[in-house]
Amino acid sequence: MTPRMRDLYPPVRAARSGTLRVDATHTLYWEEAGRPDGTPAVYLHGGPGAGVAPDHRRFFDPDAYRIVLFDQRGAGRSTPLGETRANTTAHLVADIERLRAHLGIERWLVFGGSWGATLALAYAQAHPDRVRALVVRGIFLGRAHEIDWFLNGIRMVFPEVWQRFADFIPAAERGDLLTAYHRRLMDPDPSVHMPAARAWAGYEAACSTLLPSPDTVAAFTRDRLALALARLEAHYFANGAFLDERQLLDGMAAIRDLPGAIVQGRYDMVCPMATAHQLHRAWPAASFTVVPDAGHSAMEPGTRRALVAATDGFRYVP
C-alpha cells in the first residue's frame, strides 16, 4: 500500500459483478465487495459521468460492510458510454432503487460525493425507508448559482486554469461557455467532441485539489473518462441538474432526523463549502466535518480520513 493511501482500508477485490438492464437504452455495471452478510452500503460516484474505481471500495471496512458500487447511466462500464438519452436525475434515482431490489437488499447506507452527494440526497428524499444513513462529501445541490460558479466563478481563484478553459472556445462564443461546450460535446464527430471533453475534464481536475495534482489531471483527461464526465456534466448543467432550484434543501424537512455525516474540504473550489453549511443547517442530525487542508477531491488525505471515520461510525447502524 502506498503511503498516500494508507488511511484507506487495504485494497479489496470485487467478489462478484454483473450488469442490470434498466431500459431499452441503458445497461448498468455493478459490483460487490466485502462481507456478503455485512451492513449494505452503496457508493454513488460523482460527475455525473465519473464512474467507479477500485479505490472507492476502500472507504468501507470490508469485514463489516457489503460494499456495492455501480456506474451510473452513461458512465464507466455501463453502456452506452456518454449517452444522454433517458438520462436524468429521476432516472438515476430509479436505477438505485432498482439495483437495491435486484440485489435483495432491504436498506443500505448511501455514500456519495459531489454529484454523488446530490444523488444521495435525492434518493433519500424519494426513498427514505430504504436508507439507514447517509455519508455525503463535497456538497452540490444543483442550483443555478452553483453551476455558474463552476463555469465562471472559479476564475477568481484559478484564473489561469479558467482562461485555458475559456480560450478553448472561440471569442465570439465565450459569453456562454456552457452552450458552447455543450454543442461541441454533443457533436457525434470525435474530432469535435474529444478535444472539448479533454478541455472540460482537465479544467475540473486542475481545480479539484488544494495542491496541484498532475495525477488527477492525467486520470480525468483519459478519453473514456473525459468524454463521459464532460458530456454528462454539460447535459445535466444545461438542464439545471433536472432539479427544482430549492428541491433538495426544501426536501430535507422530510429526512431531517436521518443519521448522516457531511464531510467538506474548507478550500473546495468546485463545490464551495457555503453549500455544505446550508445543508447542515437544514439537517442538524448529521455530523459536519470541515477538513481544514483539503479542496474538492475525496482522495486528499484529510478528506479520506474523515470519510473512513464516517463509514466506521455507521458500520453497525440498524
Amino acid making up residue 145 = H
C-alpha cell belonging to residue 55: 479505490
**Domain 3-143+242-313 has what CATH class?**
alpha beta
pLDDT value at position 271?
A: 98
* 124-150 tens-digit pLDDT: 999 999 999 999 999 999 999 999 999
- pTM check: above 0.75: yes
Where in the chain are all domains bearing CATH 3.40.50.1820?
Answer: 3-143+242-313
Using one digit for the tens of pLDDT, what is the confidence trace for 154-213? 999 999 999 999 999 999 999 999 999 999 999 999 999 999 999 999 999 999 999 999
Residues recognised as catalytic: 114, 268, 296
As a whole number of angstroms, the distance between CA 27 and CA 73 comes to 7
Q: How do 108-113 and 131-137 pair as beta strands?
A: parallel
Query: Quick one: what percent of the chain has pLDDT higher than 70?
Result: 98
- For 70-119, how does the pLDDT look when each residue is reduced to its tens digit (9 = 90+)? 999 999 999 999 999 999 999 999 999 999 999 999 999 999 999 999 99
Amino acid at 75: A
Q: Given this model, what pLDDT does residue 4 score?
A: 53
Q: Which band of pLDDT confidence, cut at 50, 70 and 90, is reported for residue 318?
A: confident
d(CA 221, CA 140): 22
Mean pLDDT of 60-64: 98
Q: What is the pLDDT of residue 203?
A: 98
Give the Cα separation of 47 and 59 in Å (integer): 18
User: 48 and 72 in contact (C-beta within 8 Å)?
Assistant: yes
DSSP-derived 3-state class of residue 37: coil
Residue 29 has pLDDT above 90, yes or no: yes
pLDDT band at residue 3 using 50, 70 and 90 as cut-offs = very low
pLDDT of residue 6: 78
